[in-house]
Chain A
Amino acid sequence: MLRILLDGLFVLNQNRALILGILAILIATGLALTFLLRPKTGQKSSYNHITLFFFFTTSLLLRLAYLRNVFIPPYFDSVEHFRIIKAMTEGLASHAFFDVFSGLTENYYHLGFHTLASLLAFGLRADPIDVMLVFGQITLTMLPIPVFFLIWRETKDQKAAFFSALLAGFGWYMPGFAINWGKYPAITGLLAFEVALLLITYLRFQKKYLVKNIQLFSIFISILIHSRTLVLFLISFLGYFLSRKIFALGKENQYKALKIEFLGILIFGILIYQQPLLKLALEPYINKSIWITAIIFLLTPFALRKYRQAVHFCLLFILLLFACLFIPINGILPGFETQTLLDRPFVEMSLYFPLSVLGGVGFSGLLQSLKNIPALSKRTYKSLNFLTALILFTLVGFLITKDYKFYPSDCCNFLGYDDTIAFEWINNNLPANISILVASNQLNVLPSTNSADLVGSDAGIWIPQLINRKIIMAPYELDFLSSETKDFLCHSQTNYIYVGNKEQSFNQSTLLQKRDWYQALLSLPNTQLFYITNCSN
């Protein structure tokens, strides 16, 4: 753990100006909201600011350690994000920001995120790559904070609030792992969703015009950052509405509703688990971190004693999240006929939220139920309360330190050291008008989607953005031994083949077997570049 914190400090020192700049903006926004919108209830905040600051700082260093040996944002999504942010930043610099929009793709739907990132890059005079990397880690660090305040408001118990924040930050490898997928807009969208929910929850009884507008504006911003957060808001409002209705029912009916909720989750859970592609949505919560999920469900009966509405809300949230994987958006959005309300990665990333809230109220419920133990003196209760909290924190802390990965996953960190050297070598030695064949894979996110689209599967995908050479994508399983492949390459006027170091890169050994067709131009330990020869034959 110390090594991770030291790596975090190293990254903090290297990018201090950018990190402090982004933090300054975020803290200023937070302070402005706190001062402007503080409810006049006369309540004083009783949470420990120092502990919260310590939690945030430690989390930040742990998150920054991720960037210790990362050159570029991971996975194929990041290339497109980078392209748009870079174009927008250049648009801002040349006063042509709005012209940039005309060049964006038809199905473009992360306007808010890209605008925000380009404003940061422009305002802080930073490289868009650095902004994506640093802002992503800061966003991840911020994610548990609104959850902390939500639970603190609901329970007035700061131990429970910290417990839920710990779960939201590190309980499962999601949403943190989504950084490996380059899901920057989705993570930022989740943070915006949490903040909007916080504003709505804290200020729900305020009738001020300004407050209502700010609440609506926060929802609007969240949807702009990532359009699928609209579905999360709908789920939240429906969950809140239904949980209120259930709460107003008699006890017997409440338990019936509870059974229906659990049964619904179970049925949808089985349906999801039966589909190999959808099954992955549950993996972070039932695979490695099954014990943390189990602790939360063990705490649920205690939560039911004190926070019944919150429990119903969380269960309905989970149920509706699962259901959204099966609800098609036929006819609602042209161009997205094969998609459902939420896709698998988004559900997988969002499940931490209801589970963390459930864990927080369960924790508080358990501590409060200790009061009901008969013949317990105040002093004994306090000791027991402290001991119970300590056991739970230690248990969850142990599980987190045992399993959590703070560094990039091998799956998705496309660009390694050798790739940076290969790119520079290409830039220095090859003409600008060449075409390079790069490895790709078929896009598969939902079982219903067609796999016609190809997405890059190694560092080659970054070539157009970083060294301005044209690329042609081909499936990574391409058989370079076949004459059909050779003919295809010659007809497509591809000059070079880039072989990266990922599992889904081209197979180098097949290229080496056909030395009369493919000549190795550059051979690095983890990256090779081949030249296609004898095309006239």
Chain B
Amino acid sequence: MQTTKQKTLLLILGILFSLTACRPKTEDVKETTPPHPEQINITYCNISHENLCVEGFGKESDGKLLILIKAENPSYRDIYIQSKEKDSSFTCSQSQDFPGNLYCTGETFLNGEDIALNIYTKKDKKLIASGNFTIQYGDITSPNDLSSENSATATQEPTYSYPNYPNYPNYPNSTP
């Protein structure tokens, strides 16, 4: 005969199992995305409080600009971008494994050039965000940029602060 404790245990286990087993499949969850919020001013992610922001800019070997987007809100992920300056559009690709990370490819822009971005949803072509940026290719030096720099900069020694010595352990501790 079961004691009250055993019955309680079975009941708790049953509830917990039901909670776990009845969870909808991940794909089902993904299908239900929230509606589009109002139009926002898009800016860089390190200063943005929005669910849609620009991480930075990159470029391909042919000079084409890559706009790096972070979209935490799933409703911002199926998008394309238009630039006012060159009246051209950028097609966006979503990372398969990390769907909140997108890159959009389009026209060539030079380092330091201004760009005004309008972001639209692909589905209903609704303007969801806009913002002005100055193209900065980050700290990297592309081969073309390198040629314009003086050779002293180009040939400088790499500066490594770490590892301190060649056989640095593979499990480094927190740096002081």
Interface residues of A (CB under 8 A from B): 17, 20-21, 24-25, 27-28, 31-32, 35-36, 71, 76, 123-127, 129, 173, 177, 181, 277, 280, 283-284, 287-288, 344-345, 348, 405, 409-412, 417-418, 420-421, 423-425, 427-428, 441-445, 451, 455, 466, 477, 503-504, 507-510, 512-513, 515, 519-526, 528, 531
Contact between chains at A421 and B175 (CB < 8 Å): no
Sampled A-B contacts (10; CB under 8 Å):
A35-B8, A71-B98, A124-B20, A411-B172, A417-B70, A421-B101, A425-B103, A524-B68, A525-B137, A526-B138
**Contact of A409 with B174 in the complex, beta carbons under 8 Å:** yes
Contact (Cβ within 8 A) A411 B175: yes
Cβ–Cβ < 8 Å partners of B57 in chain A = 525
B1-33: which have CB < 8 Å to A? 5-6, 8-9, 12-13, 16-17, 19-20, 23, 25-26, 29
- Segment from B34-42, B112-120, B156-164 that makes contact with A: B156-164
Q: Is the CB of B169 within 8 A of A277?
A: yes
Interchain CA distance A32-B61 in the complex, whole Å: 60
Given A21-B20, A124-B20, A420-B95, decide whether A504 and B163 contact each other with a Cβ distance below 8 A.
yes
Give the 6 A-B residue pairs with the shortest CB-CB distance, closest first. Answer: A525-B138, A524-B58, A24-B16, A503-B162, A507-B158, A424-B95
Chain B nearest Cβ from A287, distance in angstroms:
7
User: Known contacts being A417-B70, A423-B95, is A25 close to B138, with CB within 8 Å?
Assistant: no
Closest A residue by C-beta to B59: A523
Stretch of B81-89, B121-129, B140-148 that contacts chain A: B140-148
Q: How far is the CB of A15 from chain B (nearest CB, A)?
A: 11
- Cβ of B9 and Cβ of A31 under 8 Å apart? yes
A28 with B12: in contact, given A445-B169, A515-B143, A524-B138 (CB under 8 Å)?
yes
B57 (CB) vs chain A CBs: closest residue: A525
Chain B contact patch, size range: 35 or more
* B170 near A510: Cβ-Cβ < 8 Å: no
Other-chain residue from A35, A405, A504, A513 in contact with B154 (beta carbon distance below 8 A):
A513
| 7 new A-B contacts at CB < 8 Å, known A288-B176, A522-B60 | A25-B16, A31-B9, A287-B173, A411-B175, A503-B163, A512-B154, A520-B143
Any A CB within 8 A of the CB of B167: yes
Q: Tell me the smallest distance from the CB of B43 to a CB of chain A, in Å.
A: 16
Residues in B with CB closer than 8 Å to A24 are: 16-17, 19-20
Residues of B within 8 A of A513 (CB): 146, 154-155
- Measured between beta carbons, the chain A residues less than 8 angstroms from B19 are 20-21, 24
With a cutoff of 8 Å between Cβ atoms, the chain A residues found around residue B29 in the complex are: 17
Most chain A Cβ neighbours within 10 Å, of B70, B158, B170, B175? B170
Which one of B60, B66, B160, B173 contacts A284 once the chains associate, using CB atoms below 8 Å?
B173
A525 & B56 in contact (Cβ 8 Å cutoff): yes
Q: How far is the CA of A344 from the CA of B17 in the complex (A)?
A: 40
Contact present for A124 and B140 (CB under 8 Å): no
Contacts of A524 in B (CB 8 A): 56, 58, 66, 68, 138, 140
A20–B16 alpha-carbon span in the complex (Å): 9
Bound form: Cα–Cα A503–B97 in Å = 25
Given contacts A35-B6, A123-B20, contact A424 B13 (CB under 8 A): no
Q: Which residue of B lies closest to A410 (CB)?
A: B175
Q: Report B-chain residues with C-beta under 8 Å of the C-beta of A519.
A: 61, 143
Q: How far is the CA of A531 from the CA of B61 in the complex (A)?
A: 10
Q: Are B93 and A508 in contact (CB under 8 A)?
A: no
Q: How far is the CA of A430 from the CA of B167 in the complex (A)?
A: 35
Tell me the minimal C-beta distance from B141 to chain A in angstroms: 6
By beta carbon, the residue of chain A nearest B23 is A17
Given A418-B68, A520-B61: A35 in contact with B25 (beta carbons within 8 A): no
Task: Give the contacting residue for B55; candidates A126, A417, A510; CB below 8 A.
Answer: A417
B95 and A280 form a contact (CB under 8 A) = no
CB of B61 within 8 A of CB of A522, answer yes
Query: B150 interface residue, CB < 8 Å from A?
Result: no
Q: Separation in Å of the B157 CB from the closest CB of chain A?
A: 9
Q: How far is the CA of A507 from the CA of B154 in the complex (A)?
A: 13
Collect the chain A residues with CB atoms within 8 Å of residue B20's CB: 20-21, 24-25, 123-124
Q: Is the CB of A503 within 8 A of B160?
A: yes
Contacts of A127 in B (CB 8 A): 26
Question: Do B156 and A345 touch across chains, with their CB atoms under 8 A apart?
Answer: no
CB distance from B158 to the nearest CB of A (A): 4
A512: nearest chain-B partner, CB-CB: B146
Chain A minimum-CB-distance residue to B45: A417
Bound CA–CA A27/B12 (angstroms): 10
User: How many Å lie between the Cα of A522 and that of B168 in the bound state?
Assistant: 30
Minimal beta-carbon separation of B134 from chain A (angstroms): 14
On chain B, the residues within 8 Å of A526 by CB distance are 138
Partner of B95, one of A277, A421, A510: A421
Q: A35-B6, A181-B171, A344-B171 are in contact. Are A523 and B12 (CB under 8 A)?
A: no
Q: Would A417 and B68 count as touching, CB distance under 8 A?
A: yes
By the criterion CB–CB under 8 Å, are B58 and A421 in contact?
yes
A424 pairs with B101, CB closer than 8 A:
yes
Contact A27 B16, CB 8 Å, known A35-B6, A509-B156, A522-B58: yes
CB distance from A468 to the nearest CB of B (A): 11
Bound CA–CA A521/B168 (angstroms) = 31
Contact, CB under 8 Å: B61 / A444 = no
Contact partners of B154 in chain A: CB under 8 A: 509, 512-513
Name the residue among A181, A410, A512 with the largest chain B CB count within 10 angstroms: A512
* In contact, A509 and B141 (Cβ under 8 angstroms): yes
- Neighbouring B residues of A427 by C-beta, 8 Å: 96
The reply to whether B95 and A35 contact each other, CB–CB distance below 8 Å, is no
